[in-house]
Structure 1
Amino acid sequence: MRGLVADTRPLRNDHFRRLWLANIVTVIGAQLTVVAVPAQIYSETGSSAYVGLTGLFGLVPLIVFGLYGGALADAFDRRTILIVTTSGLIATSAAFWVQAALGIGNVWLLLCLFAVQQAFFGVNQPTRSAILPKIVEPELLPAAVSLNITVMQAGAIAGPLVGGVLIPVIGFSWLYLVDSITLFATLSAVVRLPRLTIEGVVAATPGLRSVIEGLSYLRGHPVLLMSFVVDLIAMVFGMPRALFPEIAHLGFDGPSGGGLAFALLFAAIPAGAVIGGVFSGWVSRVELQGRAVIVCILLWGASMIGFGVAVGLADRWRTPMLVVAVLMLVLGGAADMASSAFRNSMLMTAATDAVRGRLQGVFIVVVAGGPRIADVAHGASAAVVGTAAAAAGGGVLVVVGTVVAALAVPSFVRYRLTRPVPDAA
C-alpha cells in the first residue's frame, strides 16, 4: 500500500504544509464560484451558447496575463506577486457577491467580472507553481505535485456538490461570499512565506521579449512542447463542461439552475482525479512517460465518447444513463490526473529557476485555456447538433488527434524518464 497511495513527505515542510492546508479551504470556495457563474448565466439566459462565452471571456485574459505573469514571476519577488494577486482574487469574488446580492442580473457584467478574475488567476498560478521547487526538495517534487492536484480536485468535487444542491435553496450570492472569505486562508499562508527571489539571470524589464524567450526555450525541448500539444487536443475537443447545465436540465430532468444531476456532472471529473491522486504511488515508477501520456489521453477520449452516448440514451433510461454518464466522467478524470502528473513532472525537472515562471505561464495557459476554448466550441456545436453528439464527437476527435500527434512525433512516445545511476560502491 505504501507504494500505491500518495507520498505525504512534502507535508513535513512548514511552508508547503501551510499552503496545502490553506488550499483545502480555499479551493472549495473557488469551486463554488466556478459552479455558480455558468449556473447563473444559464438561469438568466437559458442558453448553453451564453455559458460557452465564459470560455472566450476567460481565455483572452488567461493567455495574456498567464504569459505575462510568468515573465513577472521570473523578474520580481514571487511572494509579493502572490500577495497582490491573491488580494485581487478576493476583490473579484466580492464583486460577484455584490452583483448577485443586488439582483443586477446582467450577463455581460458577469462575463466581465469573470475576465478580471481570470487575469488575476493568470498571474497567480504560474508564480505559485514556480515557487514549488524553491520550498520543496527536488526528489519530493512529484509527490508535492500529486498532493496539490489531489487537493484541487477534491475541492472540485465538494464545490459542485455543495453548490449545485444549495443554488436552488440559498441563491448565488452566498456562494460568491463564501469564496471571498475562504481566500483569506491562502492570503495568510502566502504572507508567511519567505522572500522568493530568482536564481540566475533575470530580465531587467519583464515584457514581450521576456515572454518570447520563454517560448523559445520550448522550441529546444520538443518533448515538453508535444506534452502541451496533446493536452490541448484532449481539452479543446474533449471537455464538455459547458454542456453540463443543459444536459442536467433537459437530459436528466433537473431544475434550470443547480440540482442533483447538475452537481453530479460537475463533480464527476474531479472525483476521478481524486481517486487517481489518492492511488498515485505508481506514477513515480513509470519510465516511459511519453507513452503513458498518450495512453491516458486516449482513455480520456474514449470516456468522453461513452459520456456522449449515455447522454443520447437519457430519454429512454434516464437514471441508469445518469449513472453511466457520471462513471464515464470519473474514468476520464482519473486518466487526466495521471496525464497531468506526468506532464508537470517533465516540466519541473527540465526548467531552470530563471525561466521556470515563464514555462509555468505557458503551462497554465494550455491547461486552463484549453477547456475555455472547449467551452466555446462545445456550446456552439451543441446548438447545431445537440449535446450528445457534441460530447461524443469531441471524444472521437480526441482519439484521432492523439493518434496523429503520436505518429507525427514518435520521439515523444519513446520519451523515457532518466533515473540517476547509483554509485558502484
Structure 2
Amino acid sequence: MRKFFADTTPLRNPDFRRLWVAGIPTVIGANLTIFAVPVQLYVLTQNSAYVGLAGLFALVPLVVFGLWGGAWADAMDRRLLLIIASVGLAVASVLLWAQAALALNNVWVVLGLLSVQQAFFAINSPTRSAAIPRMLPGEQLPAANSLNMTVFQFGAIVGPLLAGLLLSWVDLSTLYLIDALTCLAPIWATFRLAPMPATSTEQGSARWGFAAVLDGLRYLAGNRVVLMSFVVDLIAMIFGMPRALFPQMAHESFGGPVEGGTVMALLAAAMSAGAVLGGVFSGWLPRIRRQGLAVVWSIVGWGLAMVGFGVAGGMAHGHAGALLWIALVFLAIGGAADMVSAAFRSTILQQAASDDVRGRLQGVFTVVVAGGPRLADAAHGGVAAMVGTTVAAAGGGALVVVGVVVAALAVPAFVRYRVAPVWAPDDLRDPDKV
C-alpha cells in the first residue's frame, strides 16, 4: 500500500522539513485572505465584475515582481530574500486588517493592498521553489513537489471552511489579522535555514537588472518542453478557473447568502479537497516517466471537470440540494487533476534548469501559475456579467480541452518527453534531447 501513498522521504531533510511544517499554518492564513478579499469586494459592490477586477490588480505585481524576484533569487542569498519577502507579506496582511477594522469600505484601497501583497508573494514563491533543489537530490523532487502541493491545497480547504465558520462570530477584519499572525511561521523557518549564496558569476546590472530577466527568458525560449509546460498551464487556468464566479454562483445558483457563508466556503474548498486526496495517494507519481503526456491528460481531465461544474450550476436555479454536491464533486475531480499537473510541471522545471537560472525560471513559473488564475478572474467575471455563470464556467472548460489538445499536437516533443533514469548522463536529461 505504501506504493500508493505519498512519499515522505524529502521530510527527512531538516531544511525542507522546516519549510514544509511552517507552510501548514501559513497557507491556512493566506487562504483566509483569499476568501476574504472577493467576499469583501462582492459585499461592497454586489458585482462579479469587481471581483474579477481583483485579478488584474494582482496580475501586474505578479508579473513584474515574479520576473524580477526570480532574478534576485539567482543574484543573492535565497535565504535572506525569503526572510525579506515573508516580512513583506506579514506587513501587507496587517494593512488589509487595518482597512477592514476601520471600515474604510473603499474598493480601491482593498485592491491596492492586494497588489502590495501579491508583489511580495511574487518574490517569495520563486525563491522558495528555487531553494528546494539546493536541499534535495533530483530523484526526490516529484515527491517534494507533491508534498508541497498537498499542504498548499490542505490550507485551501481549511482556510475557506474556517473562514465560513468564523464569519458567524467575527467580521472580515479578523480573517486578515489571523493571516498576518500566521506569517510569523515562515519567518521563523527561514531564519533556521542554512545560507544559500548565489552561484551566478554575472556582475552588476547583468546580475540584478532587466538584462538578467531577459537572459532567463532567452534560456526558456530555447527549451521547448519547459516552455510548453507553461503554455498548457496558461490554457488550463485562463479558460478553466471559475473561482471569480463562486460568490455569484453560491448566491444565485445554490441559494447561499450574499455575504458568503457555508455554500461559498464549500465551493472555495472543493478543488483543494480533491487536490489533497490526489496528494495523499500520490505514491505513483515518482514512477511516471512520460511526464509530458501525464500533464496533458491531467489538464484534459481538469477541463472536463469544469464543464461538469458549470452544467451543474446552471441546472440548480437557486436550489442547492443534490446539484450542489454534484458540482462539488466535479470541482474536487478538477483539483486532483490540477495537483498531478502541477507536481509534474514543477519537476520538469526544477530538473531541466541549471541552478544559476533556476530562480528566473521559477519567477516565470510563478507568473504563469499565479497570473493565469488572475486573468481567469477578469475573463470569467466579465463573461458572467454578459452571458451568465453557466456559459462562463462550462464554456471555459470546453475551451481548455480543445486548447490543450491543439497545443499537444503542435509540439509533440512535449508529449514525448520522458524522464531519464537517475544514473543517466547529463546530455540525456536535456528535455529537448530525450
User: More displaced, 147-156 or 412-421?
Assistant: 412-421
Partner of 2:393: 391
Name the structure 1 match of 2:381: 379
- Partner Cα separation in structure 2 for residue 226 and residue 203 of structure 1: 31
Cross-structure match for 2:105: 105
Q: Which moved more, 1:262-271 or 1:159-168?
A: 159-168
Contact 1:157 1:266 in 2 (8 A): yes
- Judging changes above 3 Å, is the alpha-carbon distance between structure 1 residues 229 and 203 closer, same or farther for their aligned structure 2 residues? farther
Q: Which of 347, 350, 362 is 1:348 aligned to?
A: 350
Q: Superposition pairs for residues 308-387 of structure 1, below 5 Å?
A: 308-315=310-317, 318-387=320-389
**What is the aligned counterpart of 1:289 among 276, 288, 291?**
291
How far apart, in 2, do the equivalents of 1:264 and 1:51 lie?
A: 18
For residue 77 of structure 1, what is the aligned residue in structure 2?
A: 77
Cα shift at 1:136: 1.9
- Letter aligned with residue 403 of structure 2: G
Indicate if the aligned counterparts of 2:33 and 2:175 stay in contact, CA closer than 8 A: yes
Counting only pairs closer than 5 Å after superposition, residues 9-88 of structure 1 correspond to structure 2 as 9-88=9-88
Q: CA deviation at 1:169?
A: 3.0
Separation in 2, partners of 1:69, 1:363: 12
> Which segments of 5 or more consecutive residues in structure 1 lack a partner in the other structure?
none
Equivalent position of 2:137 in the other structure: 137
Aligned-partner Cα distance in 2 for 1:352–1:117: 29
Q: Which residue of 1 aligns with 2:271?
A: 269
Find the counterpart in structure 1 of residue 405 from structure 2: 403
| TM superposition shift of 1:412 | 1.1
Given candidates 223, 230, 233, the residue that maps to 1:231 is 233
> Residues of 2 paired with 1:358 and 1:32: CA distance?
29
8 Å contact kept, 1:86–1:187: yes
Give the match's secondary structure for 2:169.
helix
What is the TM-score with the length of structure 2 in the denominator?
0.95
Q: Deviations over 1:117-167 (max 9, x none)?
A: 000111111111111011223322221111111101000000011112322
Contact 1:381–1:390 (Cα < 8 Å) also in 2: yes
Aligned residues: 423
Scaled by the length of structure 1, the TM-score of the pair is 0.97
Matches within 5 A, 1:55-204: 55-204=55-204
**Distance change in 2, residues 1:379/1:92 (3 Å):** same
1:317 and 1:56 map into 2 onto residues whose CA distance is 32
Show CA shifts across 1:49-75 (max 9, x none). Answer: 000011000000000000000000010
Tell me the percent identity. Answer: 58
Residue 257 of structure 1: CA displacement? 1.4
Q: Is the 8 A contact 1:6 1:279 kept in 2?
A: yes
8 Å Cα contact 2:198/2:356 also seen in 1: yes
Amino acid at match of 1:404: V
Distance in 2 between residues matched to 1:286 and 1:181, nearest whole Å? 39
Q: Aligned-pair distance for 1:316? A: 7.5
3-state SS of paired residue (1:170): coil
Per-residue deviation, 1:199: 2.2
Q: CA deviation at 1:317?
A: 5.3
Structure-2 separation of matches of 1:18 and 1:412: 34
Could you tell me whether the CA contact under 8 Å between 1:163 and 1:258 is conserved in 2? no
8 Å Cα contact 1:79-1:190 kept in structure 2: yes
Are the counterparts in 2 of residues 300 and 335 from structure 1 also a CA contact under 8 Å? yes
For 1:266 and 1:58, locate their aligned partners in 2 and report how far apart those are by CA, in whole Å.
19
Alpha-carbon spacing, 1:203–1:328, altered in 2? closer, same or farther (3 Å) = farther
Aligned counterpart, 1:413? 415
Cα distance change of structure 1 residues 46 and 422 upon mapping to structure 2, 3 Å threshold: closer
1:165–1:291 Cα change, 3 Å: same
Kept after mapping to 2: 8 A contact 1:202/1:354: no
Deviating beyond 6 angstroms after TM superposition, the runs of 4 or more aligned structure 1 residues are none
Moved more, 224-233 or 3-12: 3-12
Q: Say which SS state the counterpart of residue 183 (structure 2) adopts.
A: helix
Give the Cα–Cα distance (whole angstroms) in 2 for the partners of residues 317 and 241 of structure 1.
Answer: 20
Q: Which amino acid aligns with 2:374?
A: R
The offset of 1:200, in angstroms, is 4.2
Q: Which moved more, 1:136-145 or 1:380-389?
A: 136-145
Measured after TM superposition, the shift of residue 258 of structure 1 is 2.0
Residue 14 of structure 1, CA deviation: 1.3
**What secondary structure does 1:89 align onto?**
helix
Q: Which shows bigger deviation, 364-373 or 403-412?
A: 403-412
RMSD: 1.3
Contact 2:10 2:136 in 1 (8 A): yes
State the one-letter code of the partner of 1:179: D
Deviation per CA, 1:352-383: give whole Å up to 9, x if none: 11000000000010001000000000000000
**How far, CA to CA, are the matches of 1:136 and 1:171 in structure 2?**
42
| CA pair 4-45 structure 1, distance change in 2 beyond 3 A | same
> How many angstroms does 1:77 deviate by?
1.0
Q: Within 2, Cα distance between the matches of 1:317 and 1:261?
A: 11
Q: Distance in 2 between matches of 1:417 and 1:333?
A: 24
Q: C-alpha separation between the residues in 1 aligned to 2:375 and 2:157?
A: 22
Give 1:192 shift. 1.3
Kindly state the Cα deviation for residue 204 of structure 1 after the two structures are TM-superposed: 2.8
1:242 maps to which of 241, 244, 248: 244
Gaps of 5+ in 2: 426-434
